[in-house]
Chains A and B, each alone.
Chain A
Amino acid sequence: MRSWLPLVALALALAGCAKTGAPRAEPIGKPQIPAELLEHRAKAPPLAPHPTRLVRLPGGAVVEELRP
């Protein structure tokens, strides 16, 4: 059976090897903080829960409102 692979390769070569931007396997994060900076610190108290309510805007969007 005739293979299309050589034609595809030729088309890519004629296209000038344009960059493609391959899909990423993972999200892109920030640089990790070195472990030695973190290992001796005390544990911070957990965050207290904060009451919120949902407010629907005239256009349909929803705001999650934090109440002071």
Chain B
Amino acid sequence: MTRALAVCLAAAALGSACGPGAECGFEPQCAGLTAYYACAKTEVARIECPAQQFCSMDAAKQLPACVGGYTVSGTATYAKRAQTTAGLAAPVQTPIPDVSLAVVDDVGNVMGTGFTDAEGHFTLAYQPLSGVTVHVMIFASADPTTGVPLTVNARSGIFGYGAPPFVSEPTHAQDIAVTEDEACEPFNVYATAFKSFKYLKTLTSVSLTPLTYLIYPGYAPSCGSCYYSDTNTIHLEFTADNSDGFDDAVIDHEFGHYVQNRVSMSDSAGGSHNGSPASPLLAWGEGYATYYSSSARHNELYIDTFADPGSPNGYASYVFSLRSNLYPAVRTLPMTQNLSEWLIAEILWTLEDTATPGLSKPPTATMDILGKVVRQGHVDRGVTGFDLVDFLDEWFIQRGLDDCAAFRTLLATKRFPYDFQAPGAACP
């Protein structure tokens, strides 16, 4: 029996016989995860190996076969530095949830892929080649089975980090501990945004389009840190003087703009802003984003840290509490007056703040109103475009008049001259 015929018969036994009229005669081989049984110049039978299995040549039979892989297992963590009112706290190793992993050899061939679980644990199968130097690469793209469409990119691709190498063996144990700031900050962006996505999914069922953060050492976007709605991309500064990679409040502020874009809309023209009274459209857009940041983090403080070599831990903080009342409106001006973005953030935060008598609404209430403002039939009051007046009007239209008294108290504190005349839902 010729070897080519033997190959053909073996392939037939595996369910990969050559089709009618095809002839055997080519070398069977592995190519990645695929076993090829060549039959004729115009036909090639092939078998895709199932998950967690890999193509390997059986030396005795000289045939490709799908076999179980080697495995490497451990826990993936990064050194998180939490924001404080005086810079950044000391680093704490923190799990990286539902993130992508690959086993890579010396020259960059990918030998297996997988994901961590919600606690950062992983077991990764890879091609069973003994004695090869490999390492685990962790890269900031979420496991698609979580429903979180999140990726953190560097300059030329998804942000990745290579763990120390080891020699391949059937089972290997190795934790991945990312400790260098230049890698920890992008993974903090990933972990923070991942948590925000999970929070958002508890508030709304709208479909979520992919969101990409862009951050890498030395990156200085012309806008500072900002969100581009046309590409659903958030750019974060990472320079020696200022990095937002550990600034969870900023990461979530920009995420708040993505939420607006997906669930509702913003008529803000964008551009720079500093809390001073500005167009009601800009104030609404920025104030909502800051509120969302606090809601997602369950923390009333907006903090933005910056490098300050003179400070004890090398960082200082810009802090604003949404429980303050520092930027009230002017009671004697119309409700179309310019407003501070902080005023908007304070009002929205107060709605769900359990410390507020008479309100303490669930965050789903605000999210629901946000989506309703864009309905057909909404009457645009206030300035033209989505502003605080539209939100307040829709609150009473959708939720009735039970909250009139509480809102009168709240808006009196904030000195905002709302007229409580929502179309069809005027407060008594």
Q: Are chains A and B native binding partners rather than an unrelated pairing? A: yes
Residues on A lying within 8 angstroms of B by beta carbon are: 15-22, 24-34, 37-38, 41-47, 49-50, 52-58, 61-68
Are A63 and B316 in contact, with the CB atoms below 8 A?
no
Are A28 and B285 in contact, with the CB atoms below 8 A?
yes
Query: Which of A21, A26, A52, A68 is B265 in contact with, Cβ under 8 Å?
Result: A21
Task: Kindly state the separation between the CA atoms of A65 and B106 in the bound complex, as whole angstroms.
Answer: 13
Task: Kindly state the separation between the CA atoms of A67 and B104 in the bound complex, as whole angstroms.
Answer: 12
Are B226 and A19 in contact, with the CB atoms below 8 A?
no
Per-position 1/0 for B266-286, Cβ under 8 A of A: 111111111100000000011
Are A28 and B161 in contact, with the CB atoms below 8 A?
no
Are B217 and A41 in contact, with the CB atoms below 8 A?
no
Query: Which of A41, A44, A64 is B154 in contact with, Cβ under 8 Å?
Result: A64
Q: Beyond A52-B154, A64-B155, is A38–B110 a contact (Cβ under 8 Å)?
A: no
Are A54 and B156 in contact, with the CB atoms below 8 A?
yes
Per-position 1/0 for B145-173, Cβ under 8 A of A: 00000000111111111111000000000
- What would 13 more interface pairs be, CB under 8 Å, given A58-B113, A63-B137, A63-B157? A17-B380, A19-B390, A27-B227, A28-B257, A29-B273, A30-B226, A31-B302, A41-B309, A47-B182, A55-B104, A58-B32, A63-B160, A64-B160
Are B110 and A58 in contact, with the CB atoms below 8 A?
yes
Is residue B318 within 8 Å, beta carbon to beta carbon, of the partner chain?
Answer: yes
Q: List 19 A-B contacts (CB under 8 A).
A: A19-B265, A19-B385, A21-B267, A28-B226, A29-B226, A29-B271, A29-B272, A31-B274, A31-B286, A33-B306, A37-B306, A47-B239, A55-B108, A55-B160, A57-B110, A61-B141, A61-B157, A63-B158, A66-B180
Is residue B20 within 8 Å, beta carbon to beta carbon, of the partner chain?
Answer: no
Chain A residue nearest to B285 in the complex (CB): A28
Task: Kindly state the separation between the CA atoms of A24 and B182 in the bound complex, as whole angstroms.
Answer: 32
Task: Kindly state the separation between the CA atoms of A49 and B182 in the bound complex, as whole angstroms.
Answer: 10
Task: Kindly state the separation between the CA atoms of A20 and B373 in the bound complex, as whole angstroms.
Answer: 11
Task: Kindly state the separation between the CA atoms of A44 and B193 in the bound complex, as whole angstroms.
Answer: 27
With a cutoff of 8 Å between Cβ atoms, the chain A residues found around residue B316 in the complex are 37, 41
Task: Kindly state the separation between the CA atoms of A27 and B379 in the bound complex, as whole angstroms.
Answer: 27
Residues on B lying within 8 angstroms of A by beta carbon are: 32-33, 102, 104, 108, 110, 113, 137, 139, 141, 153-164, 180, 182-183, 216-218, 223-229, 235, 238-241, 244, 250, 253-254, 257, 265-275, 285-286, 289-290, 302, 304, 306-310, 314, 316, 318, 320, 341, 373-380, 385-386, 390
Task: Kindly state the separation between the CA atoms of A61 and B141 in the bound complex, as whole angstroms.
Answer: 11
Are B240 and A46 in contact, with the CB atoms below 8 A?
yes
Chain A residue nearest to B381 in the complex (CB): A17
Chain B residue nearest to A16 in the complex (CB): B377
Are A62 and B158 in contact, with the CB atoms below 8 A?
yes
With a cutoff of 8 Å between Cβ atoms, the chain A residues found around residue B304 in the complex are 30-31, 33
Query: Which of B141, B268, B306 is A28 in contact with, Cβ under 8 Å?
Result: B268
Are A64 and B271 in contact, with the CB atoms below 8 A?
no
Query: Which of A27, A42, A52 is B228 in contact with, Cβ under 8 Å?
Result: A27
Which residue of B158, B275, B289, B314 has the most chain A CB atoms within 10 A of its CB atom?
B158
With a cutoff of 8 Å between Cβ atoms, the chain B residues found around residue A41 in the complex are 306-310, 316
With a cutoff of 8 Å between Cβ atoms, the chain A residues found around residue B32 in the complex are 58
Are B275 and A21 in contact, with the CB atoms below 8 A?
no
Are B385 and A22 in contact, with the CB atoms below 8 A?
yes
Are B272 and A19 in contact, with the CB atoms below 8 A?
no
B245 vs chain A, min Cβ distance (A): 12
With a cutoff of 8 Å between Cβ atoms, the chain A residues found around residue B289 in the complex are 28
With a cutoff of 8 Å between Cβ atoms, the chain A residues found around residue B302 in the complex are 31
Query: Which of B153, B226, B309 is A42 in contact with, Cβ under 8 Å?
Result: B309
Are B307 and A27 in contact, with the CB atoms below 8 A?
no
Are A32 and B379 in contact, with the CB atoms below 8 A?
no
Query: Which of A30, A49, A56 is B225 in contact with, Cβ under 8 Å?
Result: A30
Task: Kindly state the separation between the CA atoms of A47 and B271 in the bound complex, as whole angstroms.
Answer: 28
Are B104 and A22 in contact, with the CB atoms below 8 A?
no
With a cutoff of 8 Å between Cβ atoms, the chain A residues found around residue B376 in the complex are 15-16, 18
With a cutoff of 8 Å between Cβ atoms, the chain B residues found around residue A27 in the complex are 223, 226-228, 235, 270
Are A31 and B156 in contact, with the CB atoms below 8 A?
no
Are B108 and A61 in contact, with the CB atoms below 8 A?
no
Q: Which 10 A-B pairs have the closest CB atoms?
A: A21-B265, A62-B157, A26-B270, A63-B160, A29-B226, A27-B226, A64-B157, A65-B160, A32-B274, A44-B307
With a cutoff of 8 Å between Cβ atoms, the chain A residues found around residue B180 in the complex are 66, 68
